[in-house]
Homo-oligomer: A and B are copies of this chain.
Amino acid sequence: MNTKQYIDQSSAWLPDDTGGGIAISSRVRLARNLKDQSFPSWAGDDACLNIWQQLSAVLPECEVLADAQVVSMEDISALDKQVLFERHLISREQAERKSGAGVIIRGDESVAVMVNEEDHIRLQSLRPGLALRKAWETADALDSQMEEILDFAFSAQLGHLTACPSNVGTGMRASVMLHTPGLVLMDEMNAVIKGMAKIGLAVRGLWGEGSESAGNMFQVSNQITLGEREEDIIQTLDQIVLEIIEHEKNARWRVFEQNEQRVHDQVGRAYGVLSNAHILNSKEALDLLSYLRLGVDMGIVKLKDEAVINELLIATQPGHLQKMQGKRLKAHERDVARAALVRSKLQKSPKRANRKKS
């Protein structure tokens, strides 16, 4: 398997255009395990291999997994794993596995099923923007199709059984990736994160659990999987996210009202540095792209093609950069290649005069 095919394709976790969107994407994942089989960490290598062989044979038959690509972790290079990770198709933990583990990816990347990660099955459904219900419907449809051909480990009392007790019950984690530079600039993001924790929601960075925030992007997800219906979890999260979006809109205009020039300055410098730097590390690129996105969202700056921001958000990641160059690059070489890519993409989509606001 070669991830080259993905490089030219828009990632499923990004919207087609920014569209003023504070919600970048929505994701629902379900943890499932096979009845009477040890969880992957307890099962031996042979058992894992058996499970992978069984599931990779039958799961592509599911209608929801149309045009599926079956990828064994054993068969692909570290670089291809990195690309899949950067596209949010596999976890960092799965990327470290070799034999007896893999992922089955729907052609358009909107659905992916990891096999023998923490659980036998981790399926995820991704949607651009705020679309938790649609993501849930797809995940649920795939879950039903799998139930027809597989026996899941299920307790009438507890619900789905999972390797980690924190997932027992629905086995579901629903999350929304949010872009909240306004709350960050107003120094209010920490308060939001604390508030979320109090109502049982987690706020994490761009790369999920344990990751630092970068590019003012945060992933909000449910923590509780036991004793609540999936629909209720989705509805609560949906409402909370709508509230955060309102807070963010409000924060953006407050920042703008308090110091209009500061916003123009931050957006302008982001564009100026992205268009002209020759060395750009991953974190700086994400942060500058965030302010450029803010400028586009607020109508402060216009680009010939605004989709370039989403494209760069993915393409500037280390794995994608190296895949595009067709070779391994050292950190400094990546910073140079990243800057060259960003300059060339922004040259093709230059800033347009916006007399109304700037």
- Chain A contacts to B: CB under 8 angstroms: 261-262, 264-265, 268-269, 271-279, 336, 339
Q: Is the CB of B277 within 8 A of A339?
A: no
Is chain A's binding surface mostly helix, strand, loop or mixed?
A: helix
A279 to B278, CA, bound (A): 23
A269 to B268, CA, bound (A): 12
Chain B residues with CB below 8 A from A269, complex form: 272-273, 276-277
Chain B residues with CB below 8 A from A276, complex form: 268-269, 271-272
A339 to B268, CA, bound (A): 11
Chain B residues with CB below 8 A from A277, complex form: 265, 268-269, 272
Q: Is the CB of B279 within 8 A of A262?
A: yes
Top 7 closest pairs, chain A to chain B, by CB: A272-B276, A272-B272, A268-B276, A265-B278, A264-B278, A265-B279, A261-B278
Q: Which residue of B lies closest to A300 (CB)?
A: B278
Q: Provide a sorted-by-A list of 18 A–B residue pairs whose CB atoms are within 8 angstroms.
A: A261-B278, A261-B279, A262-B279, A264-B278, A265-B277, A265-B279, A265-B339, A268-B276, A268-B277, A269-B272, A269-B273, A269-B277, A271-B272, A272-B272, A272-B273, A272-B274, A272-B275, A272-B277
A36 to B270, CA, bound (A): 64
A275 to B272, CA, bound (A): 7
Chain B residues with CB below 8 A from A279, complex form: 261-262, 265
Residue among A271, A272, A336 with max Cβ neighbours from chain B (10 Å)? A272
